[in-house]
Structure formats: structure tokens, C-alpha cells
Amino acid sequence: MADPERSGVDLSRRVFLKSAGGLAAGGALGESALAATNSGLFGDGVERLTGEVEIELTLNGAARKVKVEPRTTLLSALRDRLEPPLSGAKLVCDMGSCGACTVHVDGKPAYACLLLAVDCVGKKLKTIEGLAQGDVLHPLQTAFCEHDALMCGFCTPGFLMSISACLDTKPTATLDEIKESCAGNVCRCGTYPHIFEAAVAAQRVLAGGKR
Amino acid sequence: MSALDPRREDESPKWGPRESMRLLNHEFVRVDAVDKVTGRARYTHDVRLPGMLFAKFLGCPIAHAEVKVDVTAAKALPGVVEVRVVREGEIRFLGQPVAVVAAKTREAADDALRAIKLEITPLPFAVTHAQSLAANAPKVGRNGNTSKVNEDGDGAQVAEAFKRCERVVEATYEVPIQHHACLETHGVVVDVPTADSGTVFHSTQATYGSANEFKGPLKVKQVEVVNEYMGGGFGAKFEAGVEGRVACELARELQAPIHLMLSRRDEFLIAGNRSGCVQTLKLGGSKDGKLLALEASVDKLGGLGGGSHGGFPFHYEVETSHSSTRSVYTNLDSNRAMRAPGHPQAAFGMESIVDELAYALGIDLLEIRKRNAESDVHRRQLDRVAREIGWFEHAHKNAPDLSDATRKVGIGFGLSDWGAGGGPACKVTVEISSDGSVRASVGSQDLGTGVRTYVAAIVAEELGLPLAGVTARVGRTSYGAANASGGSTTTGSLAPAVKDAAFNARRAFAAALAKTLKSDANDLSFDTEGVLDAKSKRRLSWRDACATLGPTGVSATGEWKEGLSSNVIHGAQAARVEVDTRTGEIKVLKMVCMQDCGLPLNRTAVRSQINGGMVQALSYALFEERVIEPDLGIAMNANFEDYKLAASKEMPEMVAIIDDEDTRGVIGIAEATIVPGHAAIANAIHNACGVRLRTMPLTPDKLLMGLAALKPLKPLKKD
């Protein structure tokens, strides 16, 4: 008998995280959110969540209700459970290695595939769909278009979220800091030189206050 | 008078002089860039249909086994709709799917995967070259562990020629298996078919071709394949695959839409790889650096597939040569086409041994290439990239730096060529409406190369419109016939058909207008100001001209026409690399590529392709390698944590030069740009410090071992 998950052949960080997640989730939920869940006391006296839970996420400035399981990742909640879905963040590695699912959590970049949706209640979440203000693109989005910092485009939302978090918090960021900010993102088409050109161009706009 | 004046043309479309182009041969923003930067672009992975089930595979965790599958427990889990066997009995390669689950949520699908019970009887396997060729090796291929040897050239003649050589060098070069690593994995979303038709969303390089593959498993006569955006292909995505077949069967039998995209692990194990190889080369040359004799023996490693190799001699003229090539089979999935199939492998062997001979003869590394390159285009490009990389100021041109310095810099070169070309395959429709809008449609897929953008640009150029004045629709079979994107033939096949359709639409519009205006169609010309009647000097804006059309507007189709596309392209690349002799760290400082491509449709996108080729070659050089544990036959790096791709920290300065001396028609360039970069890096490492790395990837441990072999280890000095 062999089972790849149990034999440890394919034990990713999140398989561990998911199995531990139900426990961690309880603490992050507010009183009102907890009341709506199927929480219960197990034999060891620790409260765990089971089954489907309706939570409210603050997404791109709006409150969105979504039914998740305690183990549902933020990425899966966005892509698979929200109606209509937010599918700009991409599922690529499913283990926090490629950055394609990067979103902002309280202004900081985070891999949505490594977060549990229930842990994100009460936090300000921004996805690629919320990076532009209405029809006005973020300067980094404009620069990505102008410098052809995308080819197939599958990694693009992740790069934009990583670098925009860097530039929005530090408009004076240097090229090295920009490279550091997206060191956890992977582009297979090889658009890096164009991404750097775009980021530097956007940095100039942001540092100049032209927004 | 406009270049588009119909009287200056004959009856067939022509690109016209480049200097009068407004869009083509210029830099412009992709028409779908905004959709890609806002997350609006919808890929196959993103498709969500009502009542859709998530399907996933369970693969065999070892390379060769007898497998029995028990789905009972998995089927009983909440949220799980179906669990079924895909394959039982003998499993011949690592990762081969044995079961599939379909569930209402991703989480339930994972539960079901964990609950499937596999009874696995391990069988003897071979996952490496040595294991497959061992005396007591298990039988891997249906007809043994190697293919028949393919001989090319006259071995006896080559043996004679070696006697005339001033110097002869011989070495074995090993190239590992690489993965395409498309960020969007393979897969489909299949809608519930009706009695006679179906719709399949498919991440494919062959939108039009794959429709036929789905008809059987869907049991329908007609299939619409939708592929408006796709997250990379690089040669891996030509087939419907086991995922396409199984998803169609599930959708039909369960009467529910099925989302079956491969997991990252499955993507690594069953969805394609660039074959590895072991190549032993012997090269001899005259005192003045003329290549006289080459003997090559190549074992291709493409798992259960045949593998791929570009052949020898590669891009260099050798007076006489002989090669024997065979496939060596292992219990791994079959290789697939990957961007310039076989060529990067051959480039690594050939460029390395040409360098080794140059050092043996004491000849300048640039000189030996210019003396033996097959083409004058290569000679001209070599001079340019040499200038750009700083070769002429470089200190050691025919000997490595063997000084005691701790950080050393070297330069290396490599060449590429590719057939590309194109032919009749695509049918493009251009429609002009009475409201002034213009639509161009064709089924072709855009892999990220910029197809959608140049479809719009070619039509806009022809009609005198801004780029935004044309909407391009691609990536659906109902938009019209198209070829698969393979061998860099999309542009050569599609662009002429777009040009022809735009040309025909313009003439049809002129004919309709002439009737209304009571003038001669031959007197009407289109430019950025609208339409001009040369005889009456009357001018109409585009919008007013279109308003004269009836409600059906004007529509025309186009097909590939001789004379608009060309074939065979050339490139030269150079790399400047710094090595740290204390840590073995290898840092690529700069890469340069000069590439010809006929008429560049969008210079921005061409530059992106050139850079992309260099980036992938850099990644191949330094990091990429499928690792299979040889004793257990299990995958060690089938994920993005352990299969390292080059990323932002590894990026050097990059210079992409479009060779504007090439005045031919359009030619696709994707493949050529990936061919020689890794070889140039390997050569630069040797030039920097005297260590010849003959096994890729080129890693610090190998470099340190090489340095230790060069001279006895000394205690570390502070610097």
C-alpha cells in the first residue's frame, strides 16, 4: 500500500498548514463570526471549526460574504467560492513558491495560497481586481503595459501586487529593492527585464507624486 | 500619395516599404495588456460554470509497478461525486494517472484523493541512463531499452580526417531533462455536451486541432474549443491528453461541467519535458582553426519517448562528420516538443567542443566561430554581439584566466538558427461595420507571443486606422481555421492571411464606396485622415465612409499568400559571467542576443521574445534539472520549491537587438532565441576560470570540484 500524501513524498508546507489550520482559525474570528460557525468542543477541550462557515471578507474595499471551510485557503475562497469569483490571483504552485497568487493583506503582500480564508476576517484585502481605482490604472499597471512587462500574463497579477506593495509603502524604492520585492515571483516567459523597466518607470511617477 | 494607394499595387497584398509603415515595425502596446494587468483576462483555469465539478488525478508514485485501485472509501465521502479508475495493471512511468476524482469543491476532491487505496507491487525500473543500459536492466521499452542507432555520415572518412588535424579534442557532455513549467498547467473545462455538440475550454497550442480530439470522448459531431488566454505552452500543449479525454467522459456521463486542470506535481510528471542527452564528441581542426573532422555519439533521454536532438555538426561547417544517435528509454513520461526541440541540447555539445578546440589551438573564441559559421549572417551578428558584450576590450580571448584572483569574469558565445516559415492554414475574416468598427477574427491561439495584437495591427495598418480602431478576436474555433503554434510557424502562417483579409476588405470597401460616391474604386485611397477620392479630391472621414455601408457592412476573408512570409532565421548570443572561486557562485552579468526575423510586426513583442529566450536559457544553464531518486524511482523535485527557475535576483543586464539588415517578409522567432544562451554561459565560465563544466546544470558544487582539480587546494586567504 502506498499513498503519496502519507508517505511524505509530496508533503507541502500547506498540507501541514491546512491540517493545523482549523485550530488556528478560532482565535482570528470575532465573536459574531464565531456564532455563525459549526464550531464545537472536541475531546481534548480545544474548540475547532468544522464544515462550512459563512464569513465576511473585506475585499477591495467592499464587504463580501463567502462560505468556506476552515481549511479553505484565501486563494480558493477568492477563485472557487466567491460569487462572482475574483480569479485574477492565480493558482500555480499551491505551496508558496511562485507568487502568482499574491494579494495585499493590510497593505502587505502575501501568498493567498498559504493563508486560510478564515484567518483573513477583519483584514483589509486587496486583489489585482482592486489595484486600479475604477478605470484609472495604478501607475505600475500603466507601466507594465507600456514596457511590455507581460507575455502570457499568468504571473502578471502576482508581480503587480508584489511590486505595488513595495512602491506604495516606499515610493523611493531602488531597483535592488524592487527586485527584492518580487524575488518570490516567477515568470516563465522571461519578462523580467521589462518588469524592471516598468517598475522603475512607475517608481518615478510615484516618487514624483503624479498619481 | 499614400503607400496604400491601390493604384500603386497589383492584385495581391504586399507589406510595402518599411519606412512608410505607421504601426508595423514600430513599438506598440499589446491590445490585451490592460486585460492582463487588471486580472480580467480569463484563462482556462479561471472558467467557472454553474454546477461545475473539480476533477483531479491520482498518479502512480513510483516509476514501474503493478497497481490495483480501490475507490470505495473515497466515493463515500461528502461532496465527492465520482471516483473512478483511469488505469490499473502495469504502470510504466512515474506519475501515470491511475484514478480520477470529481467533487463539488477542491477540498472534497483532495479528501477523495487521500481516501483512494492503491495496492502497489513495485516492479524493477530504470530511471537513469546508466540504469537503462546496465547489463541486468529491466526491460523498459516495448522492443528493448534502446532504439536502433541512426547513422549519419562516413565514419571511416572522419577517422582519416582526424589524422590531418593539428589538434583533436574529445569530451562527453550531459544535458538533464528540463521541464516546460508553464505557469498555467495543462487542462480543460468541459461543459455538458448537447446531443450533437460540445464546448471545451482548453489551454492549448492547437485550438483548432484539438477540437477533433474531443469529439470522440464527448460523442458529439461538433466541438467549439475556447482558448482566449493561455498561461504558456512552450511546446508541451499540443494534445488533448489523458486529462482532456477523461474530463470529456466525466462531463458527458455525470452531466456536469468538469474542471480538470493538472496539479503542479502532475504537470511535472506527465505533461512534458525537454529530453536530456549524453553526447560524446570528438572534434579536430587545422592549425588555422578550420574544423576538419567531427565524430559524435548521442544517447537521447526522453523517458518512454524517443527524445529529440538537433544533430551534428550544429551551425558550424565541418569538413567531414559522422554521428550515431539513439534513444535510451527510462520509466518516465515521454518527452514533448519544447521550444526549439533538440537544439539547445545540440548547442551545448557543439558550442562547448568548438571552444575546447579553440583553446587547444590557441585561437580567439570569436575568430574560430567566424571562420566556421555556416552563414554570413552569423558572422555579422557575432561581430555585433562581441562589441556589445565587451569582447574587444576583454583580456583573455584564447586562454582562460588562471590567476589567483577570487572573482573572475569570462565571456562566451553561441549561435542559433531555425527554419520557422509558414504556409496555408489560417482563414481570417475582417468585417467593417457601418458604425465604423472593424473586427478581425481567426481561431489562432495567443500563447503570450502577441498574436492578438499583430492581428489588429496588420488590419489597422492596411485600413489607415489607429490600433484601437480594430478589434481582434482569437482563440475560438468558430473564429476560423488556424494552424497549431509549433516550430515558430504561427506568424509565418497567420500574418500573411491577416494581411490578405485586410487587403480584400479594403478593396471590397472601396468597391462599395465607389458605387455610392459614383467614383472609381481605383481612385479611392485609405489613410489616417479617412478616405480620399483622387479624382474628385473629395475626402470622407472613416466614420462617414463607413456610414455609407448598409447594415451588413463589408466582410472579406483572407488566406496565406506566397511572398509575405519567409523562413530560416539566425541569431548570435554572448554572455558575460562572473565566478567566485571561493564559493563557486556563478553570476551572469550580461547577455546579448542579435536575432533576424524578417519584418518585425511589433518591435516591442519581438524584443520580449528575444529576452524571454535568453532568460529561459539562463535558467536552463544554472538551475533546471528533473531529479528522480535512482534507488526508489520517486520524484524529488516535482514542484516549484525544489525545481528552481531563474527569477529576479538572477537576472543579468540584457540586450536584445533586432537585426534590421534582414529585409524579408515575416518570420516567427520564438525558438531561435532559446537555443544558444546556456552554451554561451558554460563557455563564459570556462573563459573566466579554466573550468569546463560538461554536465548541466552549471552549479557551484561542480565549479568548485573543477577548480579543485585544476590545482591543489590552498588555505583561504583574506581579501
Residue numbers in chain B where pLDDT is lower than 50: 1-8
Whether B265 and B282 map to the same domain: the answer is no
Q: Which residues pair with B103 in a beta bridge?
A: B54, B80
| Distance from C-alpha of B483 to C-alpha of A155, rounded to nearest angstrom | 26
CB contacts, 8 Å: A87 with chain B: 39, 42, 45-46, 48
Q: What is the pLDDT of residue B484?
A: 95
d(CA B173, CA B541): 64
Q: Which of B221, B247, B270 is the last residue of a domain?
A: B270
Helical (H) or strand (E) element with B531: strand B530-533
Average pLDDT for chain A? 84
pLDDT at residue A35, as a whole number: 35
Same domain, B237 and B93: yes
How high is the pLDDT of residue A29?
40
End-of-domain residue from the set B513, B530, B558:
B558
Say whether residue B637 is in contact with chain A using an 8 A CB cutoff. no
CB B707 within 8 A of CB B581: yes
* Final residue before a domain boundary, out of B270, B295, B320: B270
Mark whether B630 and B702 lie in a shared domain: yes
CATH code, domain carrying B682: 3.30.365.10
| B343 plus B210 within the same structural domain | no
Report yes or no on B483 lying in a domain: yes
Q: Write the CA distances from A129 to A59, A117, A157, A182, A191, integer angstroms.
A: 10, 18, 9, 19, 21
Q: Indicate if B409 and B322 belong to the same structural domain.
A: yes
Q: ipTM of the predicted structure?
A: 0.96
Print the domain residue range for B98: 44-60+65-123+180-270
B83 and B23 belong to one structural domain: no
pLDDT of residue A51: 83
Task: Of A175, A161, A162, A183, give the one whose Cα is nearest residue A203.
Answer: A175
Q: What is the pLDDT of residues A92-134, one digit of tens each?
A: 999 999 999 999 999 999 999 999 999 999 999 999 999 999 9
Residues B266 and B289 in one domain: no
Same domain membership, residue B613 and residue B575? yes
**A-proximal residues of B, 236-275, CB under 8 Å:** 263-265
Residue B283 forms part of a structural domain: yes
- Tell me: do B226 and B310 sit in the same domain: no
Strand partners, B88: none
Residue B364 lies in a domain: yes
| B396 Cα to chain A: minimum distance (Å) | 29
Structurally, how many domains does chain B consist of?
3
B80 shares its domain with B211: yes
Is residue B169 in a domain? no
| Full set of structural domains in chain A with CATH | 13-129 (3.10.20.30), 139-207 (1.10.150.120)
**Looking at the structure, do residues B233 and B303 belong to the same domain, yes or no?**
no
- Any domain includes B249: yes
What is the tens place of the pLDDT at every residue in A48-74? 667 898 999 999 999 999 999 999 999
Same domain, B414 and B427: no
Asked if A15 has any chain B CB less than 8 Å from its own CB, the reply is no
Chain A residue numbers touching B183 (CB-CB < 8 A): 90, 92, 98, 100, 152, 154-155, 186-188
For B28-61, write each residue's pLDDT tens digit: 999 999 999 999 999 999 999 999 999 999 999 9
Q: How far apart are CA B361 and CA A136, in angstroms?
A: 62
Model confidence pLDDT, tens digit, residues B325-376: 999 999 999 999 999 999 999 999 999 999 999 999 999 999 999 999 999 9
Nearest-neighbour CA in chain B from A35: distance (Å): 23
Banded pLDDT at A46 (limits 50, 70, 90):
low
Please indicate, yes or no, if residue B161 is contained in any of the structural domains: no
Long-range contact set of residues B157-160: C-beta below 8 Å, sequence gap at least 24:
B157/B320, B157/B322, B158/B293, B158/B294, B158/B295, B158/B320, B158/B321, B158/B322, B159/B295
Residue B143 lies in a domain: no
Contact B651 A151 (CB under 8 A): no
Whether B165 is covered by a domain: the verdict is no
